[in-house]
Structures are given as structure tokens and as C-alpha cells.
Amino acid sequence: MNVAFVSSRVRVEVATAVALARAGFRRYATYRQATLAAAATNSVFGFLRCFVLLAVAAADPATPTAGYTAEQLALYTWVSQALIGVVALWGWTDLSDRIRTGDVVSDLLRPIHPVLSYLYVDFGRAAYAALTRFVVPIAVGALAFSLYVPRQPATYPLFVLSVLLAVVVTFAARYLVNAVGFWLLDTRGVLMAWTVGTTLLTGLAFPVQFIPGWLPTVIWVATPFPSMMQAPLDVIVERGSSLSLVAEVAGQTAWAAVLLGLCWLVQRRATAKLVVQGG
Amino acid sequence: MAYRASFAIDLAVNAFVPLLDVATVIVLFQVTPDIGGFGADEVLVMFGLSALCFALADVAVGQIEKIRIFVRTGLMDAVLARPLSALGQLLCADLPLRKVSRVAVAFVILVVAVARAPIELTPARLALLIVAPVAGAVLFGAIFVATATVAFWWIDSGEFANALTYGGRDFTSFPVTVYGRVFRYLFAYGLGFAFVSYYPTLALLGRSDPLGAPAVLAWSSPVVAVPAALVASVIWRFGVRRYRSTGS
Amino acid sequence: MTSLVIEARGLRRDFAISKRIGRFRRQRSVVTAVDGIDLQIEAGEMLGYLGPNGAGKSTTIKMFTGVLRPTAGHLRVCGLVPVTQRRQLARQIGVVFGQRSQLWWDLPLRDSFELARHIWRVPPADHAARLARFVRELDLSFLDTPVRQLSLGQRMRAELTIALLHGPRVVFLDEPTIGLDVLSKQAVRAFLTELRDRGDTTVVLTTHDLSDIERLCRRLVVIDHGRVVHDGTLESLHARYGSRRAVVATLEEPLAEPVRLPGVDLVQSSADGRVLTFSLDGSRTPAGQLVATLAALGSLRDISIAEPAIEDVIARLYAGTA
């Protein structure tokens, strides 16, 4: 394997990724009003959730609740609202729309793997959300509440890595949910399962650790949902030991690999189906 | 026959929605015995009432969300051209019967919660149990209409309307005591959300308001629902008139 | 090393149709959309691909581009097997499908071309030179307009550009002039003529617009019911189907006696008998002979000879194979 060849191929691929990401960024940047409205909505929900979780912690102010102090819970709620837009938990139907209109055939005519092209565009989308929908709720929360401030310097880069992984995990999961449209016309059951999972198991409504017994461990290991939000949230509030946080990020990496692999497999099946049936 | 099966799926899917929310409340009480000075059974009454009011409003007036689509596609002009109430047309365009399952599940939750909570059912309280859901639904309905009307002017505002509609539902699921002062004034009294579930629950439980409001307020949700509906209809009429005159 | 860009032998595509009869039973049948097509297309050709609706044109094109798997037969495009080597083939072909777009909807047109440059890995200098050429030849004055806001004529010109920007060896155009205004149609036709004359790109042009065919394509493949019914030049098509030309003669005075020549029929005569319209079968009597005969018989004031209408021969061809 010629090193020069490999490095030039990598460079070309990176340039392509950057170009597609820029396209995604610019596309979402045109939705300025909707982004503003969404950030405002996230802020309102930030208030609602923060007050409730603070009340939960207030019952026993001395002891942390499931490993979270009150200030950690406050930061937790605001960052969770900030991350909703970055990982795009809901509302992504690009692939299923194209499947319905048949435009997905155009994807096959481009010399790039469809999953990669959607992924790169999603990075651009996430980047725009990071600049807008991420920043606003945190600023609002910081002004209105006393939020936990992460103490370890390693937390910040780990958080960035964790968010990146969360974007990939959520993207791959969304892709799979959309891809169901290749086989099923009626996706309501799948969509409801997605809503249940993303609301209850991602750490959005409550930290997964609030659930009693061994269920949280099962949820972490058997579902990708905590890897979408719970992991970066735990990292930023510095919950528990560094080892447990690194383990959570490792879990995200594993889920990212598994889900991307599934996307690749599903795409292959879907393409085979398309070329047999006719675009 | 396929339609009936599809409708059954719709009903089942919609039934999950209040279950998701009650799951959240139950999980929270796994880690604490008390939220805002109220125990699990009491908060569940509040939640049940809130869910029922919201679900009722959603079935009756929820279609108003479609107004954004109507305005964007220009169908609104066709609606306004007809000599019928625009609001009536919008609401009847497609009655969301599938959401009835949400009402049913919320009702069951409320009934179970009332049974478990320390409530002495007097005739007055029974009457409240019938009136409060309706009054609360009217209040939510008023919020739906008012926020949807803003869609006339600010097309992309739909997202923010969620903060007041779904936000309102989340707000009313918990005791008003948990919220900070400014936020409370805005939502609980300014928008009237405290009258949906908090005050009726206080009346049902026979508790006095930790926030010191007079006892009579606990029974007055119907009294608040009427002005709310009036305000909403004024906003609606203003919005339609403005839309008609500017055409955009 | 063959210079054949497309090589199809016995190409066949069946579709399984499942129709519901009554409430429970299903009737399964097989529809053969493409029934044994043999086709060989050389580099640099511009080929017109014609056929009535449902003839199998788009099915063939889909198989050529790799988005449809043939049921049987041998198929190589640019030396590759389209379905299994699709992504590799995508680098060497360009596609303009009428209803489908290769452009990015929400962004300015310029951005679509930039993205195409990356995805198709076009060297920047080549990309810049080609883009400048297309901007000039197709009058792409709307590079900063979002694709969503382009008119149909503008969008078609943009689709042509993005299909050719990476310098493909073969480009498939499916109805590129349909629904276009006159100016756009002219621009596209002029552009395609340039492309043909430059000779470095093979073009397969599917169209219902027969004037496109007349002006652009030297070779014509007509398919019907999944089979090739004609593969040759336009002249050979006319010759094969006995196309007739309309000859309109204006005389000083009506003819004393009728014209009797093989393959010449009087189709119409004006009331005063001075303007006569003939239908002429050129293979039996050359046009010149008819003119000479008319001049000899009477005082010929004016004559007009029209080319055989391609619509006629195509209509007859379609009707003949029905």
C-alpha cells in the first residue's frame, strides 16, 4: 500500500467531508428564525425542568440524588436542552422524505457512499446548532441559576469528544429509523418506539440513574439512547469517578461503531432492493 | 377494513403519549419522597388533571396547529373566502379522533390517582372533578388558539408556540411551589396555568396553598377559563382581520 | 481495447406484477419491459433514443446507469458492469433524469457545482475551465440563486452542467428539453450541438421532441415493446418507411391533364385548380422529375418542397408495430 496514495486519498476524502459539512451548515443557517424560536423554546423548557429537578434534590439537600448534587442537576438540565439541537434528537426526515419521493435514486448516481454523504452534511448541521442552539440555553441558565462549574481541565476536551460521538450515534440511529421507509410504508410504530426511547432513555426527562435497580446498566449496554445525551451530560457535570466517565465515552464509541455498521448493512440491503424493484 | 386497522394503530400510538409523561413523574419519585412539598400521590393527581385537560383541549382545538400549514400553502385564503367561521372550518377540517386515546389514558391515570390520594370526596369535590377538566381544557384551548394566531404574523413562530402549549402541560404537571418567583408569576398567574391543576388539586386535597393564596382561588378555575377564552377569541379575530387586510 | 462505450447483448428486464383479485387472491404476472435489446454505442456518438410511452426507454437507461438490475443479458458501460460497479461507473457518467434532480435544493447553484467538484474529485483547474465554458455556453447568469427558486429552463441548464462538470465519458439525457421555453430550448440545443461536434463525450438522448432528433442526432434507435425496431440514420428511417414529402405547386392556369407518375398522389387542389398539393414518394419518383413534369405540363409559377415530417414516420412506425 503506497503511503502517498493513501494520504492523498485521505486528503481528498477530508476535503469532500468538509465541503459537504459546509453545505449542511449553510443550509441550516438559512433557517434563522426557526433556530431562534427553537432556542427560545429550549430555554423555556430549561426553566421548567431545572425547577423540577431542583425540587427533587431539595427534599434532601445534604445527600446527592443518584450521584448528582443540586448544582450538578441544574447544569445537567440546561446542557440537556442545549444538546437537543446539536444531536438533533427529533425532526430529521431527510432520508425518509427522499425515499418517499423516489429522489433517493439520485443518491445512487453519485460516487459517494450515501451514509457518508448524509453523515458529513449532519456534521455541518451540528456545527451550526453548536453555535446557536447550544449557546443560548446555557447562557440563559447560567444567568438565572447557579450552575455547577466543571473543575477538572480534562472535562472540557472530553465533553467535546463525547458530544461528537453523541452526534454520530444519534445520526446513525436516525438514519436507521428513516431507512425503515425502504421496507415499510407505515412507520408509526417505529416512530413511537423512537419517541419513547429518546424521551425516557436518553437522560432528557431525567438522568437514567434515577431509574432504580440494575435497569440503568441494562439501558446503557443494550440501547444506544444514553450514548446520545446522558454520556456528555455526565461528563460535563463530572458525575462520579473519571473511570466511569471514560467508560461512558468508550460505550459511546462502541455504539457509534455498531450503529454505523448497521447503517452500512441496511444501506446495502436497501440498495439491492431498489435495483431489483426499479428506482 | 385496512382503515380500521390503521386507526387502531393510531389509537395505540397515541395512548403512549400520556404514559411517557406519567413514567417521568413516577421515576422522579423513585429518588425523592417529596416534590415542592407534595408527595407522590398528590403530585399524581395534579399530573392526571393536567394530562386530562391537555388531552381534551388537544382533541377539541388541537387542529389549530394546522394553521401554519394553511397559511404557508395559501389554503387560509380559501378558508377565509367562505361565509363560515374560519375557526370552525379549521377545527372541523380533520377532527383528530385518534387523540381520544390520550384522553382515555389520562382519565384512567386521574381516576387511579384520586383513588390513591388522601381525598375525602364531598359532593362539591365531585363537582370540581367534573368541572375542572373542562375549565382547564378551555384554558389550554385558549392558549392553543392565541399562539396559533401568532402564526399569522410570524410564520416560523410555530416552534416557540410549543414552549407555551407543551411547556404549559409540563408546568401544570407539578406543583407551582417548585418554580421560581418570576417564572411563577408569568406562567401560573399571567397565563393562568395555576388554575388548571394546582388549585383544583389543593381544593381536592383540602390543603391550603403553601404560597398563601386565598382558599377561594382553589375553586375558581371555571371563573378563569371564561376570560381566557374571551381573550383568545379577541386575539383570533384580530389576527384574522389583520391577515385579511394585509394578505400575508 | 474496444472503443465501445455501451455494449448490450440480449438485455432483458422483467417486472413481477402482483394484482389483487377480489378480496383475498392475488394474480401474479410478469411484464417484460425490455425484451432482448442489442446495442453498441461508440465513443463520441450522439444517439437519439426514441419510443412511445411504455416502450422501455427509461428502463433501459436505468439499467445502463446501474440503478436497475437486468433480468438477463450482457451489459457493459465504460467497460464496467453497471449494477455491481455502480459507484465506480458514477465517476464516468453523467445523468439528467427529467423528474429527478442532481442539485442540492436549498443552496445557491454555485454551491451545487462546488460540491460536485469534491464528490467527483475533479481537478480544480479542469473544474474551473469547464464551469467557465458552461456558464458561457448555457448562459448561467443565476449562479447565486437558490436552486429551489430556479425556473424550469434554468434548472435544466443547471442539471446539464452538473452532469457534465466532471468530464464524463458518457452522459444520459432523459427529455432535457421537455417543458422548456423557446429560448431555453434553443440554448440547450445549441449547447448539445457544440457537445456533439467536440466529439469527446458520448450522449444518449431520450426524447419525444422529434425536432431535437432531427437537429442533433445522426443515429437513431427506436424501441417499442421492449425491442429495437430501428437502429440507423434518419434518412434510412425515412427510406425504410416510405416517407412522403409534400410538394405544393402554384400554377398560372389549372392543368389540362392530371399528373401521372408513380408515387405521386394529388392530395389537395384549390378551388380554381391553380394551387396543387402532392404527396411524393421520393423513392419512386425523384422530386426533380415531378417539378420538370409540372413545368412541362403547365406554367409553373412557384413550387415548394417540404422535408418528410418526422412525426409522420414515427407515428406510422409506432402504429405499425402496435
Going by pLDDT thresholds of 50, 70 and 90, the confidence category of residue A279 is: low
Rounded Cα gap, residues A116 and A171, in angstroms = 11
Average pLDDT over residues A236-262: 95
Alpha carbons B48 and B173: distance in angstroms, whole number:
8
In angstroms, the separation between the Cα of residue A144 and the nearest Cα of chain B is 10
- State whether A34 and B32 contact (CB < 8 Å): no
Backbone angles phi, psi at A206, to 5 degrees: -165, 155
- State how far residue A42 is from chain B, nearest Cα, in angstroms: 8
Mean pLDDT of C232-244: 78
Model confidence over B33-52: pLDDT tens digits? 999 999 999 999 999 999 99
Residue A32 touches partner C, C-beta closer than 8 Å: no
Q: Going by C-beta distance under 8 Å and a sequence separation of 6 or more, which residues neighbour residue A265?
A: none
Most confident of A155-164, A180-189, C10-19, C132-141: A155-164
- Cβ–Cβ of A34/B35 closer than 8 Å? no
Among the partner-chain residues C68, C87, C100, the one whose CB lies closest to the CB of A275 is: C68
Q: What is the CA radius of gyration of chain A?
A: 20
C31, C17 contact by CB (below 8 A): yes
Domain ranges in chain B are 2-246
Nearest residue in chain C measured CA to CA from A102: C100
How far does C50 lie from chain A, in Å, by closest CA? 21
SS3 C36: strand
- Cβ–Cβ gap A111/C115 under 8 Å: no
Rounded to a whole number of angstroms, the distance from the CA of A258 to the nearest CA of chain C is 24
Give the chain C residue whose CA is nearest to the CA of A116. C119
With beta carbons under 8 A apart, name residues in chain A contacting C119: 16, 19-20, 110-112, 117
Mean per-residue pLDDT over chain B, rounded: 85
Q: What does the pLDDT read at residue A1?
A: 63
Distance from CA of A212 to the nearest CA of B (A): 7
Q: Is the dihedral of CA C205, C210, C216, C221 positive or negative?
A: positive
Chains that touch A (3 or more CB pairs under 8 A): B, C
The residues of chain C that CATH labels 3.40.50.300 are: 4-232
More confident residue, C238 or C5: C5
Other C-beta atoms within 10 Å of C137: how many?
17
A29/C contact by beta carbon, under 8 A: no
User: What proportion of chain B, given as a percentage, has pLDDT over 90?
Assistant: 40
Cell 421555453 locates to C181
Torsion, Cα of B203, B209, B214, B218 (10° steps):
-30
Report chain C's mean pLDDT, rounded to a whole number: 87
Q: What is the CATH number of domain C4-232?
A: 3.40.50.300
Asked if A210's CB is within 8 angstroms of B30's CB, the reply is: yes
* Confidence label for B235 from pLDDT (cuts 50, 70 and 90): confident
CA B204 – CA B3 distance, rounded (Å): 42
Q: Which residues of C touch A106 (CB under 8 A)?
A: 97, 100-102
Coil, helix or strand at residue C15: strand
CATH 1.10.730 fits C243-321, yes or no: no
Q: Does A10 touch chain C (CB under 8 A)?
A: no
Q: Do C90 and A109 touch (CB under 8 A)?
A: yes
- Percent pLDDT > 90 in chain C is 44
Closest-CA distance, B17 to chain A, in angstroms, reads: 9
Q: How far C203 CA sits from the closest chain A CA (Å)?
A: 17
- Cα-flanking dihedrals φ and ψ of residue C238, to 5°? -60, -45
Q: What is the pLDDT of residue A158?
A: 96
Selecting from B16, B28, B163 the residue whose C-beta is nearest the C-beta of A45 gives B163
pTM given for the model = 0.88
Residues of chain C with C-beta less than 8 angstroms from the C-beta of A103: 100-101
Task: Check CB contact under 8 Å for A19 and C65.
Answer: no
CA distance A62 to chain B (A): 13
Q: Given CB atoms, is A104 within the 8 Å cutoff of chain C?
A: no
Q: Domain extents for chain A?
A: 3-277
Which chain A residue's Cα is nearest to C109?
A23
Q: Could you tell me the pLDDT band of residue B57, with boundaries at 50, 70 and 90?
A: very high
Q: Which of B135 and B210 is assigned the larger pLDDT?
A: B135
Residue B47 to residue A64: CA distance in whole angstroms: 26
Contacts of A12 in chain C (CB under 8 A): 121
CB contact under 8 A, A23 and C115: yes
Mutual orientation of helices A70-87 and A32-58 as an angle, nearest 10°?
160
Cβ within 8 Å, pair B35-A52: yes
In this structure, of A126-140, A255-269, B104-118, C52-66, the range with the lowest mean pLDDT score is C52-66
> Looking at chain A, which residue has its C-alpha nearest residue C65?
A109
Q: At what angle do helices A32-58 and A135-144 cross, to 10 degrees?
A: 40
Give residue A188's pLDDT band: very low, low, confident or very high (50, 70, 90). Answer: confident
Q: CATH 3.30.70 occupies which residues in chain C?
A: 243-321
Contact B156 A33 (CB under 8 A): yes
Distance from CA of A14 to the nearest CA of C (A): 10
Of A19, A109, A113, the CB nearest to C95: A109
- Mean per-residue pLDDT for C78-85? 94
| CA dist C16 → A175, C33, C213 (Å) | 29, 10, 33
Angle at B128 between CA B126 and CA B129, to 5 degrees: 65
Contact A147, A46 (CB under 8 A): no
Minimum-distance CB partner of A19 among C66, C88, C115:
C115
| Residues of A in Cβ contact (< 8 Å) with C102 | 106, 109-110
* Residue C44: closest CA among C217, C230, C235, C175: C217
Residues 193-252 of A with CB under 8 A from C: none
What subunits make at least 3 CB pairs under 8 angstroms with C? Answer: A
Give the whole-angstrom CA distance, residue B48 versus residue B105.
9
Whether the per-residue pLDDT at B1 is higher than 60: the answer is no
Task: State the complex-level ipTM.
Answer: 0.90
What is the structure's pLDDT at B161?
A: 83
Please report residues of C whose CB lies closer than 8 A to that of A124: none
Kindly report, residue by residue over C131-173, the tens digit of the pLDDT.
999 999 998 999 999 999 999 889 999 999 999 999 999 999 9
Residues of A in contact with B23 (CB under 8 A): 200
What is the C-alpha to C-alpha distance for residues A230 and A244, in angstroms, rounded to an integer? Answer: 13
Q: Is A13 on the interface with C (CB under 8 A)?
A: no
Grid coordinates standing for B149?
Answer: 394566531
Residue of chain C minimizing CA distance to A108: C67
Burial of A222 (0-12, 13-18, 19+ CB in 10 A): exposed
Q: How far is B158 from chain A (nearest CA, A)?
A: 8
- The sheet that has C264-269: what strands, in order across it? C264-269, C275-281, C244-251, C300-305
- Mutation pick from B29, B31, B171, B177 vs chain A, by most beta carbons of A within 10 Å, is B31
Q: Do A278 and C65 touch (CB under 8 A)?
A: no
| DSSP H helical ranges for chain C | 57-65, 86-90, 109-119, 124-137, 152-164, 182-198, 210-216, 234-240, 287-297, 310-321
In this predicted model, what pLDDT tens digit does every residue of A166-178 receive, in sequence order?
999 999 999 999 9
Beta strand C25-42 pairing with C46-50: unpaired
**Which of A40, A55, A196 minimises the CB distance to B20?**
A196
